[in-house]
Structure 1
Amino acid sequence: MIEKGFNQLYWGFLFTMLDFRIQGFDVLPDFVGYLLFASGFGILAANSMYFKKASKLNIPMIILSIFTIYERPKQEPGINIDLLGSIVGIVSLILGLLIIYYLFAGVKEMSVNVHQDIYEEADIRWRQYLMLQIAVMLGFVIIFIPFLNFLYIIGLLAASVVLMFVIMGFMKRCGEQLANNP
């Protein structure tokens, strides 16, 4: 069951970290990712209280992510700021950070006395995820700097995709190693 739980988290990261839209529709909707997280947290909850905490915070994210399945493509040039969208975005960011923090804390708790390598890597992956989110927030300032904004966005995109695959690989290893020797 542990391996299945981590497999759900594996796929959840694919849907939540990769944003690909066609005509405003999210091809890999976050909604599906948060449902996969819910399934994974439910399976792993007996192994760590942190998965239970993540599960509780995941519920509002499922609801909030429904509204991001379709986003009308921007028609006017320039930057449009939507107050309600900004508030929802900030709440989603905070909830998302807490969910991922608890996820990695749960991995650390499961591996503390058995798999020191997984314990240490969970800490590293959490810090990398946090740094990526801070870099994304910094992007809202950098978008106003010509030329640098383009390079920054390309760098963020590359870093995000690389980190997504690294975290997914880590979830796969957690499932294999913690299931064989919990």
Structure 2
Amino acid sequence: MNESGFNKLYWGFLFTMLSFRLQGFDILPDIVGYLFFAAGLSKLTLSSNYFSIAAKYNVPMIILSIFSIYQSPVQGGGIQLGQLGILSIPLAIASIVLNLLIVYNLFMGIKDMAEKQEQSEFVKVSDEKWNQYKILQIAALCTFIVIFIPLLNVIYIIGLLVISIIVTIGILGFMKRCSESLSALK
């Protein structure tokens, strides 16, 4: 049961962390990722209360992620607020906060499971992956400041892309290891 839950979390991270747009449409829509999270978290709720908490935060994210399926391509320069206008700003803030709460509780649930099974490596790595994810999200937010600094903005965005890929691969690998090692309830 836990193995299936971790496999669903793997797919959830894949869809939520990677974003490819084709003419404004997200090829890997976040809503699919949050649905995978919902399925995975429901299978893991008996293993740690943190998974139940993450599941509660995940419900509004499923709804909010509907708004990110399509974003009209940028026409010209300047800041674009999208289809919802000024309402996009509070929705974006709510999405960022909820996403961080989901991922925090998800990693703390893994840490809790690992502590119960006396697997200290997973306790440590869970904390590391949470910190990497949190720093990546903060760095992504800083893009809005750095974007106005010529040359530095290009270097920053390329660096952020590379780091994002590294963190994503690390988290996906960690989810695979969790499905193999933390599957048995002890």
- Determine if the TM-score, normalized by the shorter chain, exceeds 0.5: yes
Correspondence for 1:115 among 84, 94, 119: 119
Give the aligned residue type for 2:77.
Answer: P
Query: Aligned-residue CA RMSD in angstroms?
Result: 1.0
Correspondence for 1:92 among 95, 108, 119: 95
Distance 2:142 2:77 in 1: 22
Distance 1:172 1:80 in 2: 38
Distance 1:180 1:59 in 2: 27
Does structure 1 residue 168 correspond to structure 2 residue 161?
no
**Contact 2:47–2:185 (8 Å) recurs in 1:** no
| Displacement after TM superposition at 1:67 (Å) | 1.2
Q: Deviations over 1:102-123 (max 9, x none)?
A: 0000001101142100011000
| Displacement after TM superposition at 1:179 (Å) | 1.2
Does structure 1 residue 17 correspond to structure 2 residue 35?
no
Correspondence for 2:105 among 78, 89, 102: 102
Give the aligned residue type for 1:21.
Answer: R
Does structure 1 residue 133 correspond to structure 2 residue 140?
no
Correspondence for 2:147 among 113, 126, 143: 143
Alignment of 1:40-79 (within 5 A): 40-79=40-79
Give the secondary structure class of the aligned counterpart of 2:122: helix
Give the aligned residue type for 1:158.
Answer: V
Distance 2:86 2:137 in 1: 20
User: Runs ≥4 in structure 1, deviation > 3 angstroms?
Assistant: none
Distance 1:149 1:107 in 2: 36
Q: Which residue of 1 aligns with 2:128?
A: 124
- Structure 1 segments unaligned to the other structure (5+ residues): none
Distance 1:78 1:179 in 2: 49
Q: Which residue of 1 aligns with 2:32?
A: 32
Q: TM-score, normalised by structure 2?
A: 0.95
Q: Which residue of 2 aligns with 1:177?
A: 181
Distance 1:181 1:66 in 2: 35
- Structure 2 segments unaligned to the other structure (5+ residues): none
Deviates more, 1:69-78 or 1:43-52: 69-78
Q: Structure 1 pair 50/181, CA: closer, same or farther in 2 (3 Å)?
A: closer
Give the secondary structure class of the aligned counterpart of 2:182: helix
**Contact 2:5–2:41 (8 Å) recurs in 1:** yes
Distance 1:3 1:28 in 2: 23
Give the secondary structure class of the aligned counterpart of 2:107: helix
